[in-house]
Structure formats: structure tokens, C-alpha cells
Amino acid sequence: MKNERISRRYFLSATAVGTGVSAFADTQGAAAKAVKREGADAADLTIKEVKLYTLRQDSREGGGTHHRGQTTTQLLGIVTNAGIEGNFAGIDYSSGRDAGLLEYAKDLLIGRSVLDLPAFTSVWDPTRRRHPASPFAARIDYCLWDIMGKAANLPVYKLLGAYRDRVLAYASSMHLNTVEDFVEDVKRAKAEGYKGYKIHPPWVNARPGAQIGSPTTLVPNQGKLKLGGVDLNLDMEVVKAVRATAGDDIMLLHDRVGAYTRDQALKMGRLLDRLNFVAMEDPLPSVDIAGLAELCQRIDTPVHMGEMFYSIYDYDAYIRARALDVVRFIGAFVGGITGGMKLAKMAECFGMECAPHNYGDTYEHAVHFHCELAMPNNIWFEMMQPTGVADNPYVKDKLRIDKDGYVHALPKPGLGLEIDRGILDNLLVKIDS
């Protein structure tokens, strides 16, 4: 390949991750200092209101496939006495995820300062540490970072400690159906200028010879939820066809979403080694620490794990067991930007890369992007495919690659996403507060 292979034995260099200053240790303290340094300490950052916008979800106006079947979506707003509002929408990862969010946030936040953020997201207390992190905590965290950035008139990644101002992107496929679908998809990604491409292999109906795979999955063309299955032979044909089509100048990644058996994962891992893939993500169920540790020892392709971890305290066992090579996280599961940056710094201390999950709408892309811009041990920005499929229709700012395949930092303060109030009002069903 023209690009240097990235393996677990590859230590990050300036050419791989850019140049700059490492993110500082005290994230919230530094953010508070930045707010005051910019003269915003005169602004009253006491939280006076929490509101939940319910919006009509019109597929013709964007929103992506993760909204399919929904008629509404929701946008959280947190407002300070100074009139600064922080917002976050993002993916609804589970049915009814927003139920109770408004009352929870009001009880927790009203009358408190935005700068008390660690008290709202920490799960250090033993009674909470033994449970998964609350998805409410992440949504609140995102809004409060948005407020702090707007108060300081700085993008969030600069409050975190800017390490770079752009990140190289890879195109992240849907779970397409056929080899031909993936061939056309990688052709499009390459034509658009992407330097990397990730395969999410097909889900198939369970049949003789096919292993049952993930939890309940939407089987194409069925219109209802059924149990998805894995066809290893089909997966291998997809992998070989994508490499042949992409050529050697595109870095390739693979994500089976935890659905292989140990034998399947080893067979696929060895094929990925031969084809010079740079990542094998979630090859086994997250609970199989022993299987992951064995796989990491028997293949060269770096194993990415963490997308289905539900607390920052889930990671240490995998690192100690050498059951992953690259730390991955979804902010919604680990306390938002605050929790994600803790994991990034932990990974850095172990000499490991950190690869946040970007898959989702504009807000999901943005919050993980700010983390990526602030961490020295990140390489990739994950861009959901087709490009723009999940853009929020009421957000003016769009994340796109440049001619060299990089996504540039959002220059506006906070999360960098400006809401088009005209479009928002047109989609508005109600506001609860």
C-alpha cells in the first residue's frame, strides 16, 4: 500500500496524527478558565430553563436512516440566565430513550452553574459506578459544553485543548446487501476523495450454514424487525471485492458489530491481514474478553473495541487482558465529551490510539469530532455514508471532506452548529419545559 500500515506495533508519530499540544489534564477547569479569560465571567451561567423541542421528522428533509419509522425527533435545549442556549439532538439509540429526560434534567440542573459540569456527569460514586452510564448524562454534557463554548466565544475543541484543526475521514458504509452494493459504494467514496472506507457487512436471514449474528436487526425489504444473521462466505467476498475495487491507496476498515464466533473472527482476521486492512472493529461480542485477547495475539490487524461499552469503567479489564488494540467509544454511553476525553487520555497513557464513534446525525458527528480535534492519539473521522444522509435539516453547518480527504474544524463557538430557526419552527410540533 502507498499508505503506511497502521498496526498495534505502530507508535503514533507527528506525520500520522498531526502536530500540536496535547490536551491538558483538567478539562473542566481549563474550560472554566477559558470562559473567564474571554471576559464571559460577567455572563450569568446559572441554568434557568430546560426544554425539549419535539420536531416533525420528514424523510424528505434529511435525518438519515436511523430515523426511519419515526414521525418525530427531539432536540434538547438548556438555557442560562444570560440567555445562552446549548443544544443537542443525536441518535435515539434505544426505544423510549428520551422518556423522562426533561424532568431528570430540570431536577438536576435548574439553579446550578454550567461550570459545575463534572457534578452532573460523574459516576464515580460506588452506587452508580456499578451501573451503565445514564444516556441523559451525555445529552446534558453536550449541551453544557455548547454553552461554555458560546460563553467563551470559542469552539469546544479549543476549550478542551486544540491538538489539530482537521482530521482525516473515512467513509463508513451502511449494512448493504450484496457484493455489488459495496463495490458501488466504495467507488463513490473514492471518487469523492475519501482516503479510507469501512465495511459494515450485510445482515442476512438465518439459513442453513449461516451463523446467527447480532441482536434484532432490520432485515432488508422485510419492513419489520427480525433476527439478523451472518454469512461468513458473503462477508469474505465483500472484503475481497472492496479491496480489489479500492486499490492499494485506500485504507480499509471492517466492523461486524460483535456478531462473529471466535472461529469466524479468526478466519476473517487472517483475510484482513492478507488484504492490508487497518482495523477490525467489534469482531466478537464485547463480553468475550478471552476470545478478544486470543484474537489480538493471532492477527496483525488492530482490533478496535469499546463501541458497546456502557461506562468508562468497563475499559480497564480489556486493556489489562490485551483484549483490544484501539480504544473506541460512543459518547452517549460514557458520559459525553467529558467521559470520552477521560478515555482518550487513558488510552494515550497506555500508548494506544483512541477512535471515537461518529456514526449518526450532524450532532453525533460534531461532538465526537471535537474530541478528535483535542486528542493526540486519534487518526480518523468516521463519516456516515452516503455523505450527508444524516444531516439535520435545521442545522446550517455541514461536515464535509476537502479535496485531500480531511474534515476541517467547525469555526463557530460551542459545538459549532448554528440552528436555522426558520426551518426549526416549520418542523416544530411542541416545546415542553
| Residue partners of 46: CB distance under 8 A and separation at least 6 | 80, 81, 111, 112, 113, 114
Distance of CA 335 to the CA centre of its chain: 13
Q: Are 110 and 50 in contact (CB under 8 A)?
A: yes
- Chain centroid to Cα 73, Å, comes to 19
- CA Rg, the chain, in Å? 21
Which residues, in sequence order, are CB contacts of 259 under 8 Å at separation 6+?
211, 213, 214, 228, 230, 285
Q: What is the pLDDT of residue 214?
A: 34
Which cell is 169 given?
475521514
- In this predicted structure, what is the pLDDT of residue 131? 80
Peptide bond into 386 cis (omega under 30): yes
Angle in degrees, 0-180, between the axes of helices 362-374 and 135-152, rounded to the nearest 10: 70
319 contacts: CB under 8 Å, gap ≥ 6: 327, 350, 352
Which amino acid type is present at position 85? E
From first to last of the 433 residues of the chain, give the pLDDT tens digit: 444 444 443 333 333 333 333 333 454 555 555 555 444 456 899 999 999 999 998 644 444 334 344 477 899 999 999 999 999 997 655 444 567 899 999 999 999 999 999 988 888 888 778 788 887 999 999 999 999 999 999 999 999 999 999 999 999 999 999 999 999 999 999 999 999 999 999 998 744 443 333 333 333 333 333 446 899 999 999 999 999 999 999 999 999 999 999 999 999 999 999 999 999 999 999 999 999 999 999 999 999 999 999 999 999 999 999 999 999 999 999 999 999 999 999 999 999 999 999 888 999 999 999 999 999 999 999 999 999 998 999 999 999 999 999 999 999 999 999 999 999 999 999 999 9
pTM for the full model? 0.85
Q: What is the DSSP letter of 300?
A: S
Residue 322: what pLDDT? Answer: 97
pLDDT at residue 91 in the model: 64
C-alpha closest to that of 182 among 266, 137, 246: 246
The three cell numbers of residue 258 are 460483535
Amino acid type, 116: D
Kind of pairing between the strands at 204-205 and 225-230: antiparallel
The pairing of beta strand 47-56 with beta strand 326-329: unpaired
Q: Which domains does the chain have, with CATH numbers?
A: 14-22+160-414 (3.20.20.120), 27-157+422-432 (3.30.390.10)
User: Apex CA 18: angle with CA 12 and CA 22, to 5°?
Assistant: 80
What whole-number distance in Å separates Cα of residue 146 and Cα of residue 337? 11
Residues in Cβ contact with 52 at an 8 Å cutoff, skipping those fewer than 6 apart: 74, 75, 76, 77, 98, 101, 102, 431, 432, 433
CB-based contact 151:416 (threshold 8 Å): no
| Residues 307 and 329 sit within 8 Å (Cβ to Cβ) | yes
Q: Please give the single-letter amino acid code of residue 360.
A: G
**Distance, CA of 29 to CA of 336 (rounded, Å):** 17
Identify the DSSP state of 82. Answer: T
- Nearest Cα to 228, choosing from 241, 218, 238? 218
Work out whether the CA dihedral 201, 206, 209, 214 comes out positive or negative. Answer: positive
Query: Closest by alpha carbon to 324, among 297, 346, 344, 359?
Result: 297
Helix, strand, coil % in the chain, rounded to nearest 5: 40, 20, 40
